[in-house]
């Protein structure tokens, strides 16, 4: 089903192509490299820089996904542009983490080149008939403007360049469909394709969490505390898998292209939270300077839960499941419990980091079961079409799970 300025169509959506799946592989490598960089330098400065780099790389994925959602071509030129973008992302990540010889200007230039490659991909669609061409032209121009601002930042003296970079990044973050409010052309989004792309990348990020912890454990010998922590990790990740995939893909996306892009952007918060959770668990498992690492892990795990369930709350509000308030309150309560537990683990001597990790596991399990129970009193529209009078067909929880 399509969402946006055009009415939804009853025709089935084309599946996610192999080119898009291949494109996602570069994010597997980039995410692992960035998480390892923070693990080796667990400071707030490193956390901020690594998070910023992940956001910048993720925004390239975001704009590429929206383009492929509208124009899913797979010709030689498209492959060349995708492969070039993948190469630039790979080199960008490696250059960023090589702090001994890294040149910030070089990192910026590589990213600017990736933005212009993406603009060229949008340029190939500007001659398409209908509103699609005008829509692509607006997005191409916005990407070019962001790239030109990045180039200007290299010329402007230090201090002011951060402001220019901030404006350029905002051009990439703010949904470009906001132009619809000014009467500029927008394009309908393929809901099925968008939900599948977001779900696939979320699945990749969850898999990264397993890999991150496995690499930490493989560096030494396992004892019973390691095994217990791994059990907690598996339970929490499986619960998060159930919470997301039992709800988000089925609920779909609220009508309107702006809601569609904002829905996708909320996945950035969710996926940053999952990566932070993996880093927090890996710090918890590290042997050296164990007491300090444990307390540092408490902060990381708390921030991770804020990101995970804050992202889920935003995604849910932009979905089609009704009513929205019960699940929203559930996710907000989960955040409050995670933060409250973190304060207790930090200030109360009897509440050890081990107890906090187990507490998080119990909270996530309770959330998963409560989420499942609450969904039974909700409805979601079908994703296959509209009825004769143009209104969305609603299905109950029981019909949804048949």
- What is the spatial distance between Cα 296 and Cα 285, in angstroms, rounded to a whole number? 12
**Would you place residue 302 in the very low, low, confident or very high pLDDT band (cuts 50, 70, 90)?**
very high
**Do 188 and 257 touch, CB atoms closer than 8 A?**
yes
Domains in the chain: how many in total? Answer: 2
pLDDT, position 344: 87
pLDDT, position 181: 43
- What is the spatial distance between Cα 401 and Cα 397, in angstroms, rounded to a whole number? 6
Of 273 and 229, the one with more pLDDT: 273
Residue carrying the six token digits 């080119």: 19
141, 168, 187 - which closes a domain = 187
- Kindly state whether residues 210 and 150 are assigned to the same domain: no
Q: Over the stretch 114-137, which tens digit does the pLDDT of each residue have?
A: 999 999 999 998 887 767 788 888
- Kindly state whether residues 252 and 111 are assigned to the same domain: no
- Kindly state whether residues 116 and 245 are assigned to the same domain: no
* pLDDT(247) > 70: yes
Beta bridge partners of 3: 189
Question: What is the DSSP track for 348-379?
Answer: -TTS-HHHHHHHHHHHHHHHHHHHHHHHTT-E
Of 363 and 221, the one with more pLDDT: 363
187, 221, 248 - which closes a domain = 187
The pTM of this model reads: 0.83
| Residue range 362-373: mean pLDDT, rounded | 95
Range of the domain at 45: 2-187
- Kindly state whether residues 152 and 207 are assigned to the same domain: no
Q: Over the stretch 34-68, which tens digit does the pLDDT of each residue have?
A: 888 777 777 778 888 888 899 999 999 999 998 88
């Amino acid at each position: 089903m399509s969402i946006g300025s055009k009415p939804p169509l009853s025709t089935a959506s084309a599946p996610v192509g192999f080119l898009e799946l291949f494109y996602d592989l570069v994010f597997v490598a980039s995410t692992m490299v960035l998480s390892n960089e923070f693990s080796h330098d667990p400071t707030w400065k490193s956390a901020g820089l690594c998070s910023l780099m992940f956001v910048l790389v993720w925004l390239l994925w975001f704009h590429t996904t929206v383009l492929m959602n509208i124009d899913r071509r797979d010709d030689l030129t498209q492959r060349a542009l995708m492969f070039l973008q993948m190469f630039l992302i790979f080199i960008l990540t490696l250059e960023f983490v090589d702090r001994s010889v890294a040149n910030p200007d070089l990192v910026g230039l590589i990213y600017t080149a990736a933005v212009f490659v993406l603009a060229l991909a949008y340029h190939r669609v500007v001659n398409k008939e209908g509103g699609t061409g005008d829509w692509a032209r607006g997005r191409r121009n916005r990407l070019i403007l962001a790239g030109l601002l990045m180039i200007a930042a290299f010329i402007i003296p230090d201090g002011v360049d951060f402001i220019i970079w901030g404006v350029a990044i905002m051009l990439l973050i703010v949904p470009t469909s906001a132009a619809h409010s000014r009467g500029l052309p927008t394009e309908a989004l393929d809901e099925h394709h968008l939900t599948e792309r977001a779900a696939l990348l979320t699945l990749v990020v969850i898999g990264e969490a397993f890999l991150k912890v496995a690499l930490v454990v493989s560096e030494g010998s396992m004892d019973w505390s390691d095994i217990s922590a791994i059990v907690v990790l598996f339970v929490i990740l499986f619960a998060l898998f159930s919470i997301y995939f039992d709800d988000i893909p089925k609920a779909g996306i609220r009508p309107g292209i702006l809601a569609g892009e904002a829905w996708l952007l909320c996945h950035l918060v969710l996926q940053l939270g999952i990566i932070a959770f993996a880093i927090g668990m890996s710090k918890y498992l590290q042997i050296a300077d164990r007491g300090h690492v444990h307390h540092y892990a408490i902060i990381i795990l708390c921030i991770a839960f804020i990101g995970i369930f804050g992202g889920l709350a935003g995604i849910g509000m932009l979905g089609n499941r009704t009513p929205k308030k019960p699940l929203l309150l559930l996710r907000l309560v989960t955040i409050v419990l995670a933060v409250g537990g973190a304060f207790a683990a930090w200030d109360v001597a009897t509440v050890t980091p081990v107890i906090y990790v187990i507490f998080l596991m119990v909270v996530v399990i309770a959330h998963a079961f409560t989420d499942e129970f609450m969904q039974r009193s909700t409805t979601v529209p079908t994703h296959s079409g509209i009825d004769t009078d143009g209104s969305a067909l609603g299905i109950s929880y029981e019909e949804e799970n048949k």
